[in-house]
A and B are shown apart, each in its own frame.
Chain A
Amino acid sequence: MMDMDEREVPLQLDFEDDGVEEDEPMADRGAFERQYADERSWEELQEDESGMLRVDVAQQQRQHRKRMSAMAGPRIQRGIIRYLFVLLDFSRAAAEMDLRPSRMGIVVDCVEAFVREFFDQNPLSHLGVILLKDGIAHQLTDLSGSPETHIRALRSNMESTGDASIQNGLDLARGYLTQIPSYGHREVLLVYSALSTIDPGDVMETVQECKKANIRCSVVGLSAEIYICKLLCEQTGGMYSVATNEGHLKELIMEHAPPPAAQAEMSVASLVRMGFPQRGAEDAVALCACHREVKMGGGYTCPRCKARVCELPTQCHICGLTLVSSPHLARSYHHLFPVSPFEEVENLASANGRQSLSKSCYGCLQELPTPGGKVKGVRLECPRCRQHFCFDCDNYIHESLHNCPGCESNSVILSQLSQ
C-alpha cells in the first residue's frame, strides 16, 4: 500500500479506477496536511449577528461535493472474468487455537464472506476450492459460478489432519486453470496456516510452471512469513501478506475480491456468447438437467435448448451455452454510463431573475434554498435536463441510484439517449 490515506473515504471504492496515478502529487505530503488542505474546515465557520460561531451548511455541502468529485473518475471495469482457486490449508496447523475457536473456523468464516463478495464484484467469474491436508490436495468444488455450492461444501468439510503440501495444491489448481479460455484471468489464493510445506518433488519447479502458465498466485499467511510463499507471490505477480489478528485476516482475504488492476493488461478482450434464461413459475414441475431429478418450482430454462437448470450462473448441461442472470451483468452498468455531475446554482438572486426558481427538489420535494429563504444549503442543477435538486438527492443520485430523475422522465432526452 503506497498511499495510506486518512480520509474517511472507503479505500475499496478505488479498485476500478484507472487513474490511481492522479493521486501521486499528493503522496509526498503528510496525511494530515492533505486532510486539512482538502477540507479547509475553518471556512465552514461563520460569525452571526450576535457574535456566535456557526457552521455554514452550504459551505459544508460544497466541500463534501468537492471530495466526492475528486474520487470520481473514469470507471470502466477491466478484466472482469476471473478464474480463481482458493487453496485452504486444513493441515494440523489449522487446528491451532491462537484464533478462537480455531484457525480453521475463522478461515472458513472469512472465506465464506470472501466468496459472496467475490461473485458480487466479479459477476462472470468462476471459483473453486481446494483443501490441503494429509500431504495431498483434495478438490472440494469444481470451478463454478455459484457461491452457495462452495459455501455448503466448505461448511460440511471442516476437519484438519496431516501436513500441507503447497506443490500438490498448485499442481492440482494449475491442471484446471490451464484449460480455461484465453480471456479469463487465472488466479490462486492460498490461505496458509502451516510453517512448512511437505512436497513430493521440487516446489520451485511448480512455481516456475505457474509463472509460465500466467497464474497469479497470492498468499495470506496465518503464522509468519515463509520464504517459499514470498517467492511464489513475487514470481507470479501476486500479493503476499501475513495476518496479525482475526480482523486483519478478514481484511487481507477480502482484499482479493476486487479484480486486480495490473492483470487487466494481460487479458485478451473477447465476445462471449451467453444466454439469459427465464425463471420458471414457482409451482411448475420440471426435470432438471443438472441433477437429473424432478424439481418443483423456480429453475431456469436455457434459451437455446430449453433444458432446465437449477442455479445461475452456470453452463447449460445439454448444449454448453453459458447461462447468466442478466441482472447480474446489469449491476455494473452504472460504471459505463455515469450520471453527469450536477452543477451548483450560484448566486440564487440573479438566477431567480432569469427564470422563476422551482420551490422544491425535483426528486424528493424537499424545499430548496431560495434568495432570502429560510432553507440553507446548495441548490444543484442537472446540466442535461435543467431540473433542480437538493444536496441529499445529488448525493443519492450519484452514489447509489445512478439515474437522474429529471432526465429519465423527459422523453425528449430519453429518445436522444436511445439513439
Chain B
Amino acid sequence: MARNPTDDVSQVVLLLDVNPFFWGAEAASGGRSNGSGGLAFDQYFQHALMFVNGILLLNHTNRIVIIATGSSTCAFLYDSTATDGINGSSVTSKANKKTQVSRTELITKSMQEFVSKEEEASKESSQIQYSNISGSLSMALCYIQRVLRGPLPHPQARILCLQGSPDAPYQYISVMNSIFSAQRNGVVIDACVVGSQHSAFLQQATHITGGIYMKPPQPDGLFEYLMMVFTTDLFSRQFLQLPRPVGVDFRASCFCHKKTIDMGFVCSVCLSIFCKHHQTCSTCGATFSRSNSTTVTGMKRKAPGS
C-alpha cells in the first residue's frame, strides 16, 4: 500500500454520551444498574479529556471535535481548529490560547453548560429517555464533509462514539442513513460501549464502515481502552491486533411499533418492515393479498457446495 504523507493524520470526532437519564440511574444505584462497572460521569468525562489530549499529542496535525449527545439535544463542545470557541455554546473568545490548561477548561466549561441545559429539559419529561445518537452522528458527518471540502491534504476522518445509553428503536432509519453516508464517504465509525447492553446500532455502524467495536469488560479502566485501541490511526490499524467483533446484531425495527425484531414481514413494493401481517402497507399504501404472505417457496434450493 502506498503511503502518503497524511496517512496517519487523523480528524477525530468524539461523540460523548451525556444522557442525564443514563448517568443519573448509574449514580443512584452506585454503578450497578446500567453495568457501567462503577464508572461515574465525572470519571468518564476525565478519561475522555485525557483521550482528547492524547490524540492531539500523538501528531501535531491531528484534529479533534467533541459533540455531546444528550437526551433532549446535541451540541458541539469543542473544535481543536477553531480559534474562538464554538458559536452559540458561549465559550468566551478570550480562551483561545491552546495550552493544555485552557483546552481542558474550555471543554469543561462547555460541558457544564450543556449538562445544565440537559438538566432543565429532563425535568419536563420523566419517561425513559434515550440519547439522540442519530443527531450527533449527523452533525459529525456534516462537520467531516466540511473538512473534506477544505484544502488538501485531507486528514483521515473517523468518528468515535462513547456510548452508554441503550439504542432507541425509533432512531433506526436515521442511524442507518448516517451509517450509509459515512460508508459512501469513507468515514470510519468506531464505538466504545460503556453501558450494560451491546448496541446493535453501533455494531452495525462499525461493521459497515470498517471501524472497531468494543465493550470494555471493566468500564472503570476506560482510559486504558481508549488509549490502546481508539487512538490508533487508520493507517496503523493494519499492523495491529485490535479487538475482534463479538458478532453483529442485525435486527431491525418495525415501522408500525418501533419494536426491535429479528423476523418480520417486508412490503415487496417499498421494503417497509412490519412485525405482523397488515392488510395494507402504511408507508406506500399497497394492498396485500393474504395468500402471498408466505415465504418464498417452490424455488430450487442451492445445491451444497455450489
Which A residues are closer than 8 A to B by beta carbons?
A: 76-81, 123-124, 141-144, 149, 176, 179-183, 267-284, 290-292, 300, 303-304, 314-315, 317, 320-322, 324-327, 329-337, 358-366, 392-393, 396-397, 400-412, 414, 417-418
Q: Which residue of B lies closest to A411 (CB)?
A: B72
Is B79 in contact with chain A by the CB < 8 A criterion?
A: yes
Which B residues are closer than 8 A to A by beta carbons?
A: 70-76, 79, 82, 86-88, 121, 125, 129, 132, 134-139, 141-143, 145-146, 149, 170-174, 176-181, 184-185, 204, 207-208, 244-252, 258, 261-274, 277-278, 281, 283-284, 286-289, 292-306
Determine if B176 and A333 form an interchain contact, defined as CB atoms under 8 angstroms apart.
yes
A396 / chain B contacts, CB cutoff of 8 Å: 141-142, 145
Determine if A403 and B178 form an interchain contact, defined as CB atoms under 8 angstroms apart.
yes
A268 / chain B contacts, CB cutoff of 8 Å: 289, 292
Determine if B250 and A418 form an interchain contact, defined as CB atoms under 8 angstroms apart.
no
Determine if B266 and A272 form an interchain contact, defined as CB atoms under 8 angstroms apart.
yes
| 30 sampled A-B residue pairs with Cβ under 8 A | A124-B268, A142-B303, A180-B299, A183-B292, A267-B269, A268-B289, A270-B293, A271-B277, A272-B265, A275-B263, A278-B250, A278-B262, A281-B245, A282-B244, A282-B247, A291-B305, A292-B304, A315-B296, A326-B273, A327-B250, A331-B180, A364-B145, A365-B82, A392-B149, A397-B142, A401-B141, A405-B74, A408-B135, A411-B71, A411-B73
Contact A392-B146, Cβ < 8 Å, known A279-B207, A408-B134:
yes
B281 / chain A contacts, CB cutoff of 8 Å: 269, 271
Known: A276-B251, A402-B177. 8 other contacts (CB 8 A): A142-B303, A271-B274, A273-B295, A300-B250, A329-B271, A330-B176, A336-B283, A397-B142
A337 / chain B contacts, CB cutoff of 8 Å: 173
Determine if A280 and B269 form an interchain contact, defined as CB atoms under 8 angstroms apart.
no
Contact A269-B174, Cβ < 8 Å, known A290-B302, A325-B250, A408-B132:
no
Q: How far is the CA of A363 from the CA of B149 in the complex (A)?
A: 14
Contacting residue for B146 out of A123, A269, A321, A366, CB 8 A: A366
Chain B: minimal CB distance from A303 (Å): 4
A279 / chain B contacts, CB cutoff of 8 Å: 207, 245, 247-250
A183 / chain B contacts, CB cutoff of 8 Å: 268, 292
